[in-house]
Amino acid sequence: MSEPLLDVRGLSKHFGSTGGLVQRLTGRAATPLIAVDDVSFSITKGEIFSLVGESGSGKTTLGRSLLRLVEPTAGQIVFDGTDLMRLDPAALRAVRRQVQMIFQDPYSALNPRLTIRETLAEVLRVHAIRPADRIDARIAELLSLVGLPADAADRTPRHFSGGQRQRIGIARALAVEPRFIVADEPVSAVDVSVQAQIMNLLLDLRDRLGLTLMFIAHDLSVVRYLSDRVGVMYLGRIVELGTRTQIFAAPRHPYTQALLRAAPRPDPARRTTQAAIRGEPPSPLNPPKGCHFHTRCALATDICRTVAPPPETVAPGHVVRCHHHALAPV
Amino acid sequence: MPILDVQHLTTQIPTARGILTVVDDVSFAVEAGECFGLVGESGSGKSMTVKSILGLVPAPGRVTGGAVIHDGTDLTRLPQKAMNRIRGSAIAAIVQDAASALNPVLRIGHQVAEAMLEHGIARTRAEARARVIDLMAKVGIPAPGARIDDYPHQFSGGMCQRVVIAAALSCNPGLILADEPTTALDVTIQDQILKLLVALQQDLGLSLILVTHDMGVVAQTCQRVAVMYAGQIVEMVATPELFRQPRHPYTMGLLNCVPRIDGPETARLTPIPGAPPDLAHPPAGCRFHPRCPLATDACRAGRPALTEVAPGHFSRCIRQDALTADMWEAAHV
Amino acid sequence: MTEAAIVAPSDRPRPELAAMRPSVWRRHGGLITGAGILALILLASIFANYLSPYDPLQQNLRNTMQLPGWDHPFGTDNFGRDIFSRVLHAAKLDLMIGFLCVLFPWILGSVLGGIAGYFGGIADTIIMRVVDTFSAFPFLVMVIGIIAILGPGLISMYIALTLAGWSMYARIVRAEVLVVKKAEYVLAARALGFGHGRIMFRHILPNVITPTIIFAMTDIVLVILSTTSLSFLGLGVRPPTAEWGIMISEARGFILTAWWMVTLPGLAIVLVGLALSLFGDGVAKWLRERG
CATH class assigned to C77-290: mainly alpha
Distance in angstroms (rounded) separating the CA atoms of residues B278 and B275: 9
pLDDT of residue C81: 86
Query: With an 8 Å Cβ cutoff, are B14 and C22 in contact?
Result: yes
pLDDT of residue A330: 47
Q: Which CB contacts under 8 angstroms, 24+ apart, belong to C96-100? A: C97/C154, C97/C157, C97/C158, C97/C161, C97/C223, C97/C224, C97/C227, C98/C220, C98/C221, C98/C223, C98/C224, C98/C227, C99/C220, C100/C158
Residues B66-95 pLDDT 10s: 999 998 889 998 888 888 888 888 899 998
Residues C260-288 pLDDT 10s: 888 888 898 889 888 888 888 888 888 77
Is pLDDT of C15 > 80?
Answer: no
Query: With an 8 Å Cβ cutoff, are B41 and A278 in contact?
Result: no
Query: With an 8 Å Cβ cutoff, are A112 and C202 in contact?
Result: no
A108 inside 8 A of chain C by CB: yes
Residue C254 burial class via C-beta count within 10 angstroms: exposed 0-12, middle 13-18, buried 19 and up: middle
Query: With an 8 Å Cβ cutoff, are A100 and C191 in contact?
Result: yes
Residue B85, φ and ψ in degrees, nearest 5: -70, -30
pLDDT of residue C230: 85
Distance from CA of C280 to the nearest CA of B (A): 22
Instruction: Identify the residue among A64, A104, A111 best suited for mutation to test binding to C, counting C beta carbons within 10 A and taking the highest.
Output: A111
Those residues whose C-beta lies under 8 Å from the C-beta of residue B45, and which sit 6 or more positions away, are B11, B22, B23, B24, B26, B228, B230, B231, B232
Instruction: Identify the residue among A108, A120, A127, A168 best suited for mutation to test binding to C, counting C beta carbons within 10 A and taking the highest.
Output: A108
Query: With an 8 Å Cβ cutoff, are A161 and B243 in contact?
Result: no
Residues A96-142 pLDDT 10s: 889 999 999 999 999 998 999 999 999 999 988 888 899 999 999 99
pLDDT-derived band at C6, boundaries 50, 70, 90: very low
B-to-C residue pairs, Cβ atoms closer than 8 angstroms: 49
Query: With an 8 Å Cβ cutoff, are A100 and C192 in contact?
Result: yes
Residues C28-37 pLDDT 10s: 888 888 889 9
Nearest by CB to residue B72, choosing from C5, C14, C15, is C5
C191 inside 8 A of chain A by CB: yes
Distance from CA of B235 to the nearest CA of C (A): 15
pLDDT-derived band at B199, boundaries 50, 70, 90: very high
Nearest by CB to residue A218, choosing from B186, B220, B253, is B186
Distance from CA of B5 to the nearest CA of C (A): 8
Chain A's closest residue to C205, CA to CA, is: A113
pLDDT of residue C26: 75
What rounded mean pLDDT belongs to chain C? 84
pLDDT of residue C2: 35
Residues C138-188 pLDDT 10s: 988 999 999 989 988 788 888 999 999 999 999 999 999 999 998 999 999
pLDDT of residue C20: 57
Query: Which of 10-29 (C) contact B at CB < 8 A?
Result: 10, 12, 14-15, 17-18, 20-22
Distance in angstroms (rounded) separating the CA atoms of residues A229 and A245: 8
Query: With an 8 Å Cβ cutoff, are C187 and A100 in contact?
Result: no
Q: How many CA atoms lie within 13 A of B82 on its CB side?
A: 11
Nearest by CB to residue B60, choosing from C1, C2, C20, is C20
Of the listed ranges B186-200, B252-266, C96-110, the least confidently predicted one is: B252-266
| C5 or A295, which is more confident | A295
Nearest by CB to residue C184, choosing from A108, A122, A158, is A108
- The DSSP 8-state label assigned to residue C7 in this structure reads B
Distance in angstroms (rounded) separating the CA atoms of residues B167 and B161: 10
Nearest by CB to residue A105, choosing from C184, C189, C193, is C184
Residues A240-299 pLDDT 10s: 999 999 999 999 999 999 999 998 888 888 788 888 888 888 888 888 989 999 999 988
Q: Shortest CA distance to B151 belongs to which of B193, B116, B109, B115?
A: B109
Query: Which residues in chain C touch residue B65, judged by CB atoms under 8 angstroms apart?
Result: 14
Nearest by CB to residue C191, choosing from A101, A104, A112, is A101
Q: Is the confidence metric ipTM above 0.95 for this complex?
A: no
C61 inside 8 A of chain B by CB: no
pLDDT of residue C1: 34
Domain boundaries, chain B: 243-331
pLDDT of residue C21: 60
Instruction: Identify the residue among C122, C180, C182, C185 best suited for mutation to test binding to A, counting A beta carbons within 10 A and taking the highest.
Output: C185
The two beta strands, B175-179 and B91-94, are parallel
Q: State the average pLDDT over residues B234-259.
A: 92
Distance from CA of C233 to the nearest CA of A (A): 45
pLDDT of residue C248: 86
Distance in angstroms (rounded) separating the CA atoms of residues C93 and C243: 7
Query: Which of 64-123 (A) contact B at CB < 8 A?
Result: none
Percentage of residues in chain C having pLDDT higher than 90: 27
Distance in angstroms (rounded) separating the CA atoms of residues B90 and A321: 50
pLDDT of residue A209: 92
pLDDT of residue A41: 94
Chain A's closest residue to B239, CA to CA, is: A268
Q: Helix (H, G, I), strand (E, B), or coil: what is residue A256?
A: helix
Nearest by CB to residue A103, choosing from C184, C203, C206, is C184
pLDDT of residue A24: 59
- The set of chains that have 3 or more CB pairs under 8 A with C is A, B
Those residues whose C-beta lies under 8 Å from the C-beta of residue B38, and which sit 6 or more positions away, are B46, B49, B50, B209, B210, B211, B212, B225, B226, B228
Residue C73, amino acid: P
Is pLDDT of C7 > 60?
Answer: no
pLDDT-derived band at C221, boundaries 50, 70, 90: confident
Contact (Cβ atoms closer than 8 angstroms) between residue A315 and residue A326: no
Q: Helix (H, G, I), strand (E, B), or coil: what is residue A179?
A: coil
Query: With an 8 Å Cβ cutoff, are B77 and C4 in contact?
Result: no
pLDDT-derived band at C3, boundaries 50, 70, 90: very low
Distance from CA of A44 to the nearest CA of B (A): 21
Is pLDDT of C11 > 50?
Answer: no
Q: Helix (H, G, I), strand (E, B), or coil: what is residue A6?
A: strand
Residue B65, φ and ψ in degrees, nearest 5: -165, 160
pLDDT-derived band at A23, boundaries 50, 70, 90: low
pLDDT of residue A60: 93
Distance from CA of C12 to the nearest CA of B (A): 8
CA dihedral in degrees (A312, A314, A318, A320; nearest 10)?
Answer: -40
Question: Which domains does chain A carry?
Answer: 6-108+179-195+208-265+273-327 (3.40.50.300)
What is the pTM assigned to this prediction? 0.84
Distance from CA of C186 to the nearest CA of B (A): 25
Is pLDDT of A12 > 50?
Answer: yes
Domain boundaries, chain C: 77-290
Contact (Cβ atoms closer than 8 angstroms) between residue B50 and residue B238: no
Chain A's closest residue to B260, CA to CA, is: A221
